Structure 1
Amino acid sequence: MSFPTPLTPPYTPLTDSSSPVFIAKSQFPAHPNAIKALLTPPQTPEFELRAKQEEGRKLSDNEISYYLPSRGDGVNDMYVHHKLLASPSQMTPSRILHIWAYQLLLHPLLSSTVEFREYEDISFVPSRPRNLVEALSTASERFSYIVDERDIIGTYLNGPRTLSNDRLGYLVVKGPSQSEGDEKVEYEFMLCATHYLGDGMALHSFMNEFYILLGSDLTTQEISQKITQKLGLESGLVEIPKSLEDRLPPSKSDFARIVGKEESRRSEAKLIGGQSFGSSWEKLPRHTVVPTISYDKDKTKGILGNCKKNGVTIAHAVFALCNIAWARKTDDKIDPCLIYSALNLRPNMIPSTSTAKESFFHLAVGYFNIVLPTLLPSSISTSELFWHRARMTKQQTIKAVKSPFVVARSQNTSMVRRERAVKWAKIDDEEELKSQQGNPGLGLGVEIAQSEVQPTQQKKPPQAMQLPTPETTPVVPVTATQERKVSQRALMGLSMLGNLDGKYKHAEFPSLELTSLTTGSRQRQGGLLLFAYTFAGKLWFSLGYDKNGFPPGVIEGFWSEVQNLIEEVLV
């Protein structure tokens, strides 16, 4: 089986003569690793690449739940991808590398490594460069500037894994093969990071900082001085951020902790789902695609205005869109539609007590679920039903976010997810040891909510559930103790990123024109996740899914129905 050319190892020609480390075009290294040799200082006691290895910190429960399933094939490795227009004079590989090196000093998790000792004893180990050359060498190991025509998103999602225990973050820049003058041309930037390192908000905050520097008038030499100055400050080294669990308010008493755990159990027990896209009968290799649509500024303004007029946000509306679009496609109108999503827990975190500046790059997500009926009543119009389901979503969201048990529930959920991840990691490793050809990355697809059941291999093609009729339903006496089996299977996941123009301060880098944003992650087999957000004044929908993981036409039909419904009830 052939894969796209991998994004690694890095091939990073430095072409800016103002850089202290300058490689002329005629000196481009023939071997991809030659650049590392040129940047790495002599291996003497005074110039070791990791001269100052400080004690790291252990991964938390939630971080472990993401780390263990990622080991095999990079399940949940994240990315954010931008297209932008910029002047080539600002985009020399050397200048970009220097900015990347400076940013890694501010956010040390991205340049850290992971030390695995036991399933529940895993640590981040920071890399602490002592001088400019070491900082650039560390950055170059996590950076590629490419000029070929490959699809860098597709390569990242479907090719060999880019990230690893030794490379938790990576920056890919794709530029034109030749460009001269100051006329703006298109570039692509893609930041990659493991999910146990952070979340979507960390990715976007980081890239906003990056673009402020990139769009500034700072020369490569001036950025070098900033790096040197940062390294020269005793308090300049930024600490690895504490985990979410260490930053959440502790329970006031044992009783409060017990009550929170019981509330979490009862809340999960109330979840009812059962709707499913099904899975492909042919067990083909995973192939993730990311169809993305956007609406122009005028349509976006109208859509957001309609949501406001009906007392909801676009986030609430998207749940209703998916619910009704699926209900139109399925024959099963009995089982409810369960959709899971991520919850930003940063507002619940207590302020850091550290005297040093602390990076915002850390994992701070919880989880919640929305349950909506699948039945489509004929007594009201589609528009009335849509806004009603959107308001139902709003009520459930407020209940999840404003719950006095949100912290206790998140803490308990993290422990449960860690236990599940450890269980599946041990099973995977045992199978790998036996077969030497298994996939240790199957695990429990931990990008899903805690309510989704681990899919099992089917013995025959799935069949759609049909509504019972008098002709097909046998007459069977029903006793009072009999109950219909309750399923907690989720239909899909939604990630509602909100207004990303609030994250990207476009006015602070006017020389750069960001034109598009796509985000997502490497998925497990049969994975599916929809992102919705506003960016550059437009409303965007980005659907990442395994094209080989579902019956032919099912996801495509659903996606088409979502777009039809947008035109019908939102535009």
Structure 2
Amino acid sequence: MAALTDGDWTELAAERPSGGRIFSRLLGPTEEGFYWDGEFNGTADVTDHHSISFTSQTLRIDDAAADEARFRAVWITLKQHLPLLATRIEESEGGNKLAFVVAEQRTRTIMPGEFEYIAEGDEHKTQTAVERGRNGIPRRLSRDLCAAITVLRRSETEYDLVMTTAHLIFDGMSSFFVARTLCDLLSRWPQSLEIPAPDLRLRLAMAPSCDSLHPRNDMSPARLRWRRAIATIINSNRVARLNGGHTIPNKRSTRTPFTPAISRDARAPPLDATYTRKALATCRAQGVTLGHALAVSAQLALSRVVRRRFEAGLVSQEEWDARRRTPTSTGGPLNLRPHLAPRWLAAGGHTELVLAIGFFFAKLPYMPDADALTPGRFWYRARMVKKQAESYHRHPLFLEMSSAAQPARIERCRNAAKALREGKVSENAVVPDPAPKDGDFPVFLHSGSSIGNVDPLCPFSFPVPQQEGQPAVETLHRVRSKMYLRCRPAELYLGAASVKGELHVYIFYDENVYDAKDVEEWLDEVRKALVSYLCVEPRESAVKARL
């Protein structure tokens, strides 16, 4: 048998007791990092909650047992379309070798713990399912189960779908494609079950690791080595410049990196359609994206939060002066798909269930005075963020730099996961030690990203039209969706998305490190800054309003 790689799936010839084929490939470096994240008490697992309603009486099933059978069949069909949902991870050589293993039989059946149907669902049971995905001990998933779903029947036509997925098999873009495929299959039931299942080998061929899809992988080995060596040096220099920084009030300690997070979320009231249109138009006029402006708004919000504490006597003059001088850092995921092999993209890679993300980092100068930052200076800082982000994704060695960052990340995550396995750290919170000295390592104000308008990625009306310009008769309506992240230790993730024309801003955070009231205060100031600089004419701006 040929040696396994992370770019091609190999059919395993041995041991087929089920009679089906078994395929395997190695995890790529990006996937490996997220695998070890997940082994650290489920870090980075994503739970999506979708509320749906059948709008056609043809989809109504009064008998709960028959209804459960319908959802089981649709889930199996979904796995046949997206077989990474059925994968397990094989760990060998002391964790130094990791491989996906997809058995054809697993795409045809329901595995233990994979599917749950609750006939009499309610809001409490839905939130319990969500909480199990983002904080459950033991973890909802495992190396033998990378995706699971809970179906809660709220009435004969209304349902909550709570799906938890390991981050090593998908990313933010994939989450929309999974929801879109699932809702479309449900909306076309039972006809959707009558279509022959796609060939497993062909489906897996579209799911290599993103690291194997670098367009320049066809260069000579010597040239590739040089490119990777240069990228490693550039990446090391960039990481070294990130040391220091500060964030909102917190309880960070030397034990924080080894304390699994208690994941929580905070969500600001959405900006209405008028304000959202104004915000996006203002960003376009300034030549930046909403994400660039969001980073500056976050820094301005930090200034307001800390100054309020300084004026109340809760922050010393020394700390206030130090914070005013100290730059802040941010970073977040970048969608790698547009940068990957053209042949894969042409075959449909944009909508495949794969993990295809890199990361960018940006540093903003000293914390501004909340009362004195003019619109001109605000947009100057936003363009600074844009320039730094573009220095990553427009760099000729961008993909090599993304790969160069992985070995250190893998080593760090693997050590933490193995310490948890060996009982050296607890699955529960530990008592904080004194806070570490600032400047010894990077302290990010926040991580996160703005994913833009998500409506085209997953519509609200199903089925999806088979031909453009020929709308289908609606049989299923997606009422709403929410995503929940199982945070890493000390995570403070600031995200934004436009839904139905309204801008939503939200935070995922580690409750061990941040108090809810501090997070909500900061988020409120972020929203106010967005409104002040993006939605209101300068002469009307409330930026200089009294704190």
Moved more, 284-293 or 315-324: 284-293
Match of 1:555 among 503, 519, 534: 519
Checking the alignment, whether the CA contact within 8 Å between 1:515 and 1:536 is kept in structure 2 is: no
Secondary structure at the aligned position of 1:540 is classed as strand
Find the aligned partners of 1:90 and 1:439 in 2 and give their Cα distance: 47
- Taking structure 1 as reference, are residues 407 and 234 closer, same or farther at Cα in structure 2, changes over 3 Å only? closer
Residue 36 of structure 2 aligns with an amino acid whose one-letter code is L
**Structure 1 residue 219, shift from structure 2 partner:** 3.3
Deviations 1:259-296 (A, max 9, x none): 22222222223335411335438999853222223223
**Structure 1 residue 386, shift from structure 2 partner:** 2.6
Matches within 5 A, 1:240-255: 241-248=207-214, 249-250=216-217, 253=223, 254-255=225-226
Find the aligned partners of 2:209 and 2:135 in 1 and give their Cα distance: 30
Matched, 1:59 2:27: yes
Secondary structure at the aligned position of 1:333 is classed as helix
Match of 1:173 among 126, 134, 151: 151
Find the aligned partners of 1:500 and 1:338 in 2 and give their Cα distance: 27
Secondary structure at the aligned position of 2:145 is classed as coil
**Structure 1 residue 51, shift from structure 2 partner:** 3.2
**Structure 1 residue 126, shift from structure 2 partner:** 0.4
Residue 407 of structure 1 aligns with an amino acid whose one-letter code is L
Match of 1:122 among 98, 119, 124: 98
Checking the alignment, whether the CA contact within 8 Å between 1:324 and 1:374 is kept in structure 2 is: no
Unpaired runs of at least 5, structure 1? 1-45, 180-184, 443-455, 466-484
Match of 1:336 among 327, 330, 345: 327
Find the aligned partners of 1:341 and 1:63 in 2 and give their Cα distance: 17
Find the aligned partners of 1:235 and 1:506 in 2 and give their Cα distance: 32
Residue 59 of structure 2 aligns with an amino acid whose one-letter code is Q
- Taking structure 1 as reference, are residues 529 and 89 closer, same or farther at Cα in structure 2, changes over 3 Å only? farther
Checking the alignment, whether the CA contact within 8 Å between 2:80 and 2:200 is kept in structure 1 is: no
Secondary structure at the aligned position of 1:230 is classed as coil
Moved more, 203-212 or 546-555: 546-555
Match of 2:189 among 189, 214, 219: 219
Matched, 1:266 2:237: yes
Matches within 5 A, 1:306-455: 306-330=282-306, 331=320, 332-351=323-342, 360-377=352-369, 381-430=373-422, 432=423, 438-439=425-426
Aligned length: 471
Secondary structure at the aligned position of 1:326 is classed as helix
Unpaired runs of at least 5, structure 2? 1-14, 61-66, 307-319, 464-473, 536-547
Checking the alignment, whether the CA contact within 8 Å between 2:134 and 2:263 is kept in structure 1 is: yes
Checking the alignment, whether the CA contact within 8 Å between 1:101 and 1:139 is kept in structure 2 is: no
**Structure 1 residue 121, shift from structure 2 partner:** 0.8
Find the aligned partners of 2:43 and 2:482 in 1 and give their Cα distance: 18
- Taking structure 1 as reference, are residues 198 and 441 closer, same or farther at Cα in structure 2, changes over 3 Å only? farther
Residue 130 of structure 2 aligns with an amino acid whose one-letter code is I
Checking the alignment, whether the CA contact within 8 Å between 2:292 and 2:383 is kept in structure 1 is: yes
1:305 alignment partner in structure 2: 281
**Structure 1 residue 381, shift from structure 2 partner:** 4.4
2:433 alignment partner in structure 1: 459
Matched, 1:500 2:451: no
Find the aligned partners of 1:135 and 1:121 in 2 and give their Cα distance: 24
Residue 136 of structure 2 aligns with an amino acid whose one-letter code is G
Moved more, 344-353 or 86-95: 86-95
Identity rate of aligned residues, in percent?
23
Residue 114 of structure 2 aligns with an amino acid whose one-letter code is R
- Taking structure 1 as reference, are residues 281 and 60 closer, same or farther at Cα in structure 2, changes over 3 Å only? closer
Matched, 1:83 2:51: yes
Checking the alignment, whether the CA contact within 8 Å between 2:252 and 2:490 is kept in structure 1 is: no
Matched, 1:290 2:265: yes
Matches within 5 A, 1:132-281: 135=107, 137-138=109-110, 142-146=114-118, 147-148=121-122, 149-150=124-125, 151=127, 152-160=129-137, 161-176=139-154, 178-179=155-156, 186-215=158-187, 218-220=188-190, 222-226=191-195, 229-230=196-197, 238-239=204-205, 241-248=207-214, 249-250=216-217, 253=223, 254-280=225-251
Checking the alignment, whether the CA contact within 8 Å between 1:69 and 1:441 is kept in structure 2 is: no
Find the aligned partners of 1:419 and 1:288 in 2 and give their Cα distance: 24
1:447 alignment partner in structure 2: none
Match of 1:112 among 67, 75, 87: 87
**Structure 1 residue 202, shift from structure 2 partner:** 1.1
Residue 204 of structure 1 aligns with an amino acid whose one-letter code is F
Find the aligned partners of 2:114 and 2:356 in 1 and give their Cα distance: 24
Find the aligned partners of 2:98 and 2:175 in 1 and give their Cα distance: 23
Consecutive aligned runs of 4 or more in structure 1 exceeding 6 Å deviation: 281-285, 353-359
- Taking structure 1 as reference, are residues 368 and 65 closer, same or farther at Cα in structure 2, changes over 3 Å only? same
Find the aligned partners of 2:226 and 2:436 in 1 and give their Cα distance: 46
1:98 alignment partner in structure 2: 73
Checking the alignment, whether the CA contact within 8 Å between 2:41 and 2:260 is kept in structure 1 is: no
1:527 alignment partner in structure 2: 491
**Structure 1 residue 313, shift from structure 2 partner:** 1.7
- Taking structure 1 as reference, are residues 292 and 378 closer, same or farther at Cα in structure 2, changes over 3 Å only? closer
Find the aligned partners of 1:561 and 1:355 in 2 and give their Cα distance: 43
Checking the alignment, whether the CA contact within 8 Å between 1:104 and 1:139 is kept in structure 2 is: no
**Structure 1 residue 343, shift from structure 2 partner:** 1.1
Deviations 1:480-535 (A, max 9, x none): xxxxx575221211132222123124465344333433223212343321221112
Secondary structure at the aligned position of 2:358 is classed as strand
Deviations 1:424-470 (A, max 9, x none): 3444445x2xx6xx33799xxxxxxxxxxxxx98534799x9xxxxx
- Taking structure 1 as reference, are residues 219 and 346 closer, same or farther at Cα in structure 2, changes over 3 Å only? closer
- Taking structure 1 as reference, are residues 515 and 505 closer, same or farther at Cα in structure 2, changes over 3 Å only? closer
Match of 2:37 among 69, 81, 102: 69
TM-score normalised over the length of structure 2: 0.77
1:34 alignment partner in structure 2: none
Find the aligned partners of 1:256 and 1:167 in 2 and give their Cα distance: 37
Find the aligned partners of 2:149 and 2:332 in 1 and give their Cα distance: 27
Find the aligned partners of 1:111 and 1:337 in 2 and give their Cα distance: 41
- Taking structure 1 as reference, are residues 299 and 172 closer, same or farther at Cα in structure 2, changes over 3 Å only? farther
2:540 alignment partner in structure 1: none
Checking the alignment, whether the CA contact within 8 Å between 1:280 and 1:549 is kept in structure 2 is: yes
Find the aligned partners of 2:436 and 2:239 in 1 and give their Cα distance: 27
Find the aligned partners of 1:565 and 1:458 in 2 and give their Cα distance: 33
Find the aligned partners of 1:57 and 1:325 in 2 and give their Cα distance: 46
Find the aligned partners of 2:203 and 2:397 in 1 and give their Cα distance: 36
RMSD: 3.4
**Structure 1 residue 204, shift from structure 2 partner:** 1.0
Find the aligned partners of 1:236 and 1:401 in 2 and give their Cα distance: 30
Residue 90 of structure 1 aligns with an amino acid whose one-letter code is L
Residue 459 of structure 1 aligns with an amino acid whose one-letter code is D
Residue 141 of structure 2 aligns with an amino acid whose one-letter code is L
Secondary structure at the aligned position of 1:73 is classed as coil
Residue 526 of structure 2 aligns with an amino acid whose one-letter code is V
Residue 339 of structure 1 aligns with an amino acid whose one-letter code is T
Deviations 1:294-329 (A, max 9, x none): 223233222222222322221111111111101222
Checking the alignment, whether the CA contact within 8 Å between 2:448 and 2:494 is kept in structure 1 is: yes
